[in-house]
Amino acid sequence: MAEEIQAKAMEFERNRGQLMNVSAQKQQLQMQNGALGNAIEELAKSKEKKVFKAVGNILIQADAAETKKELQEKKESVELRIKTLQKQEDSLVNRLNKLKSDIEAAQNGMPVAEEKAQESEKPNKKK
């Protein structure tokens, strides 16, 4: 029993670490997405045909319309990655909640199988 609790606790900590990493990546991408949105907005306001864009450590002159298109494509890619990370984050949160309830049930001396049987007897409340 103690070994089961310890194994679940280790898995919980591992998943918690993954959740922290996924959340940090998602936050960075959200900041990048905001910056891309601002850049696209400024390009839309600008009447200039040529703009400067950063390539590595230098600035080069480029066509404004082409640069705007590149930024929009990059923004779409970032948004897709954010959605993927959100799904991973949701999955990890669900897994952590399940592990937490399993650990608590094991600590209280109730086998996980009994807990699941009791949960199935409870009426389901929909939001």
Q: What average pLDDT does this structure show over 99-108?
A: 89
Which residues does 114 contact at the CB level (< 8 Å), separation at least 6?
Answer: 105
Report whether 79 contacts 33 (CB < 8 A). yes
Domains of the chain: 2-112 (1.10.287.370)
- 49 falls in which pLDDT band (50, 70, 90)? very high
**CA–CA dist 60, 68 (Å, integer):** 15
Q: What average pLDDT does this structure show over 10-20?
A: 96
Q: What average pLDDT does this structure show over 19-32?
A: 98
Helix (H, G, I), strand (E, B) or coil at 52: strand
Q: What average pLDDT does this structure show over 25-48?
A: 96
Q: Does position 121 have pLDDT exceeding 60, yes or no?
A: no
What confidence tens digit (pLDDT) does each residue in 79-95 have?
Answer: 999 999 999 999 999 99
Look up the pTM and report it: 0.76
Q: For the chain, how far is it from start to end, CA to CA, in angstroms?
A: 35
Q: What average pLDDT does this structure show over 95-119?
A: 74
